[in-house]
Amino acid sequence: MFPAPEPAAPLLAADGVTLEFKGVRALHGVSFSVRSGELFSIIGPNGAGKTSLLNCVSGRYQPTKGSIDFDGQRISGRGPASRAQLGIARTFQNLALFAHMSVIDNIKVGRHHLMKRSFLAGGLYWLTGARDEEHEHHAAVEEVIDFLEIQHIRHRQAGTLPYGLRKRVELARAVAARPRLLLLDEPMAGMNLEEKEDMARYIHDLSREWAMTIVMIEHDMAVVMDLSDRIMVLNFGEKIAEGSPEVVSAHPQVREAYLGAEA
């Protein structure tokens, strides 16, 4: 009888992450892991520490205690730019687009860290391969534009777009980076029903067809239960549950903390 294969190491692993701001504890000893190709959702009431945890993963915050590993490398202490180089991209709860720039230029910003040619090499455009690199980046951006169905607004100024389209452009910028880990902070917040349905479809396809590993914060429980492989629940900065949608939705602490005691 052959031995069972060893389980693959997680792509992302957080161990005992604690975050404090001037004595106020936003996170307390949070541990979790995310496997490659998984769609992992983080839920919890307002103020539970969800965005703070995502900020620790992206490098915007550094944990007071604990560690975070990505693909076997310790990334605690590294800044956002270093983590982007490793393949971590994110969207924000509050839109972070360049309002004065066109949609296509906003999306190109997402690929900036992937450019190998220097500005000096750009001066030797025809001799150094810079032209080929430009074509490669342009093709990647156009693929994302087609996927997210925003061809009709590619040259519009981002700041002039309706809210739902701006959320889609921000997703496009993150996806254009071809991340190995995509962090989504409330991608459907403020959207109407039709916009939510479209965004849910895009996230599903990124997970299943593009095989992206996704960590998502989202308040729409129907979307979370439908899309997620696993869910972690935070409350007052602590993890109170983790597991499949079925297991988490039946957990008594989750029903009390997130859905209300009478649920």
43 forms beta bridges with 233
Residue 20: inside a domain: yes
CATH at 263? 3.40.50.300
Residues contacting residue 72 through CB under 8 Å, at least 6 positions apart:
9
231 plus 189 within the same structural domain: yes
Alpha carbons within 13 angstroms on the beta-carbon side of residue 211 total: 1
The 3-class SS string of 138-195 reads HHHHHHHHHHCCCHHHCCCEHHHCCHHHHHHHHHHHHHHCCCCEEEEECCCCCCCHHH
Residue 35: inside a domain: yes
184 plus 203 within the same structural domain: yes
Residues contacting residue 162 through CB under 8 Å, at least 6 positions apart:
none
| Residue-level pLDDT at 96 | 78
195 plus 255 within the same structural domain: yes
Residue 238: inside a domain: yes
Instruction: Provide the domain limits for residue 123.
Output: 104-178
236 plus 191 within the same structural domain: yes
184 plus 219 within the same structural domain: yes
183 plus 260 within the same structural domain: yes
Looking up tokens 């993890």, which residue turns up? 239
Give Cα separations from 69 to 12, 31, 88, 154, 164 (angstroms).
Answer: 6, 11, 12, 36, 33
189 plus 75 within the same structural domain: yes
| Residue-level pLDDT at 110 | 83
Out of 131, 158, 178, a domain closes at 178
Q: One digit per residue, pLDDT tens: the chain, 263 residues? A: 544 455 578 999 999 999 999 889 999 999 999 999 999 999 999 899 999 999 999 999 999 999 999 999 999 989 999 999 999 999 987 777 899 999 999 999 888 766 655 444 445 444 555 566 677 888 899 999 999 999 999 999 999 999 999 999 999 999 998 999 999 999 999 999 999 999 999 999 999 999 999 999 999 999 999 999 999 999 999 999 999 999 998 988 888 876 554 44
Task: Report how far Cα 69 is from the mean position of its chain's Cα atoms.
Answer: 16
| Residue-level pLDDT at 92 | 87
Query: Based on the structure, what is the number of domains in the chain?
Result: 2
Residue 93: inside a domain: no
132 plus 193 within the same structural domain: no
| Residue-level pLDDT at 120 | 44
261 plus 189 within the same structural domain: yes
pTM: 0.88
- Phi, psi of 231, rounded to the nearest 5 degrees: -135, 140
Residue 224: inside a domain: yes
3-class SS at 124?
coil
| Residue-level pLDDT at 260 | 59
Residue 94: inside a domain: no
Residue 212: inside a domain: yes
| Residue-level pLDDT at 119 | 44
Out of 162, 178, 194, a domain closes at 178
Residue 139: inside a domain: yes
